[in-house]
Structure 1
Amino acid sequence: MSKYDELIAQAKTAYQKHELATAIAFYEEAFQEKIIVEDLVDLGFVYLDDKNPFKAVAILEEATAFAFDYPLGFYGLGMAYEEVGRRDDAIKAYQKVIELDEAFVNAYFNLALIYDDLEDENQAYNYYKKTLLYAPGHFWANLNIGSFYEKHDFLDLALEHTLRAYRKNDQEKMISYNLGVIYAKMKKYEEAIKYYQEELKKPKPYILAYSNLGLLYKDVYQDYKKAQYYYLEGISQDKNNSILWYNLACLYVVMNDFENAYNCFLYANLKDKSIFKYMENDEELDMFRQTETYQKLKQNLKG
């Protein structure tokens, strides 16, 4: 074994042990002998793991300049560009990956995430579809495209993809919550309750599962005590959640408990000032807005 091969082997062993500084040292020493582009790309990934994206960019730009037909190099470069905030360059790098290897799943998925972040739904959707073309069981692509379908009320497709993600990992945060949302929209309320409650059994549940359970028990079952229970349980987990305080206030309005409604609306607005505009237009509060309690609340909030 040559000195170069020996040093690269030591670098890879150190990397596997997550001894990043040691791995970098071995790579750098090896490259004093010669440079093999695939190994240089590997060093770029080590720098990414070492939270040094600017160094990763420099290494991977050098590597891809020499190996312009090596998709993994451009994939790493895309990741590095994302880390340093060069999103347009990241898009170009991932597109280059796909040009070189049309079945490179993670490049499609990363592009979908970027376009999701840019709120370009059409592009995000197209890249999630491409991800699933090559990896039908991809958890996050199924979950995210399921959310897209739910948002646009393609509920059968939303359910199909979200269940596919759920069967792959039913413990991920929000997966049960998302199923609850879909079933509620389909008016399958018992199923919705089942999945919201399942979400709440997780170590760190998605807090709005409490809110949605409260809404179901208030609006569908008119079981105000259960609705109150879930709102208060949610607030006990997150006292600063303005949505829970607002929904609890609306429940108190329905129960004609205007004093508690006043206090909860006041607290919700203290936590999120944008709620006032919503409160002014919420049809559920049409009658409440005619009361002295509401006028007092409005005056206090404006003051």
Structure 2
Amino acid sequence: MKDDIQINKYLKKAEEAFEDNKLIKSLDLYNKVYELSSGKNLDAIINLALIYDSLGKSEKAKEYYKEALSIDNYEERAYYGLATIYDEEEKYEEAIRLYNKAIYINPNYHKAYFFLANAYDVSGEKDLSIETYEKLLSLNPMDFWANLNLGCIYEEQNQNDLAYKMFSKALKIDPNNHLALFNMGVICHKFNMIKKSINFYERSIEKDKGYEYSYLNLAVIYKYKDTKKGIEILSKGINNCSEVYFLYYNRSCFYAVIDEENKACEDIIMALKLYPQFLKYVLEDEELVKVRNLNLFKEFVDKSNLGQALH
């Protein structure tokens, strides 16, 4: 009885420490529960696994999840926890098996459905991913990310009406999410609703100035009808984003369109410095023929270790 009172006291303190992100303190308290319960308290075991996983000690976490399952073979949290680790390790087949185990035990396990759908998606099982997202949305229609991710799969498959429907739902749930706005820009462009597409991309940039693809897609709309405006947009992206190598590459192509080869060459050199793998595309890009013939470009390639790629 005394031990039970002490266990509950430690459990409460451990949970509070975990919520405050004091992981080491929480770990110590759960270990005390583990000792007092002679390794039989499932909440302590599951949370020890969770903390070790959070600390990057996935093998230790696996041991605790498996220990939980040796006590209770129907412990859905352990199957889910193990699945997330294998998912992170890109061992999708095992992750999928374990997510399904968790769902078999608890058919309303929202998080398991979500990550199962994602595991199916990244492993190329698109139909199963769609089916799983749809099941999740039947349980929780207001799941923002499920709506958005399902829309992305439909868009990949050119099921554009369905994609539009899902992105619209996502925006009703969160009207200010930059990814939902971006994806709506993509689908509106596919439907040739150019003004709407521009509006969505602009709103996406307004909500997150660091998302480089919004600048790229918006600029591409202006590439041939107002190239200088497109260059302005790409320049803003270069100033605001961290991953900008492909923005330099695209701005180079825009400069080439208006015959500003020297500026185009400067941007291509910057793009290649940041991402040398672009060279194969530069060598094949018809818009960059004049740029490739500039001495500045040839000298850069010869002086860098990229020179061999030309021969």
TM-score above 0.5, yes or no: yes
Paired position in structure 2 for 1:136: 141
Q: Under a length normalisation based on structure 2, what TM-score does the superposition of the two structures give?
A: 0.81
Structure 1 pair 275/46, CA: closer, same or farther in 2 (3 Å)?
A: closer
Mapped pair 1:25 → 2:28: yes
Taking the TM superposition and a 5 Å limit, the aligned residue runs for 1:154-169 are 154-169=159-174
RMSD, aligned α-carbons: 2.8
Structure 1 pair 31/138, CA: closer, same or farther in 2 (3 Å)?
A: same
Look up the SS of the partner of 1:205 in the other structure: coil
CA contact 2:96–2:120 (8 Å) conserved in 1 = no
Mapped pair 1:68 → 2:63: no
Uncovered stretches (5+) of structure 2, i.e. residues with no partner: none
Paired position in structure 1 for 2:245: 242
Give the aligned length: 296
Structure 1 pair 103/246, CA: closer, same or farther in 2 (3 Å)?
A: same
Look up the SS of the partner of 1:30 in the other structure: helix
Paired position in structure 2 for 1:251: 254
Distance 1:202 1:78 in 2: 33
Taking the TM superposition and a 5 Å limit, the aligned residue runs for 1:74-153 are 74-82=79-87, 87-153=92-158
| Structure 2 residue corresponding to 1:271, chosen from 264, 274, 277 | 274
Structure 1 pair 271/80, CA: closer, same or farther in 2 (3 Å)?
A: closer
Q: How far has the Cα of 1:245 moved from its partner?
A: 1.9
Q: How far has the Cα of 1:147 moved from its partner?
A: 1.2
Q: How far has the Cα of 1:84 moved from its partner?
A: 6.2
Q: How far has the Cα of 1:120 moved from its partner?
A: 4.1
Q: How far has the Cα of 1:47 moved from its partner?
A: 3.5
Distance 1:280 1:31 in 2: 62
Look up the SS of the partner of 1:125 in the other structure: helix
Paired position in structure 1 for 2:188: 183
Q: How far has the Cα of 1:88 moved from its partner?
A: 4.2
Look up the SS of the partner of 1:136 in the other structure: coil
Identity across the alignment (%): 26
Mapped pair 1:296 → 2:301: no
Q: How far has the Cα of 1:230 moved from its partner?
A: 0.6
Structure 1 pair 189/275, CA: closer, same or farther in 2 (3 Å)?
A: same
Q: Under a length normalisation based on structure 1, what TM-score does the superposition of the two structures give?
A: 0.83
Q: How far has the Cα of 1:112 moved from its partner?
A: 2.3
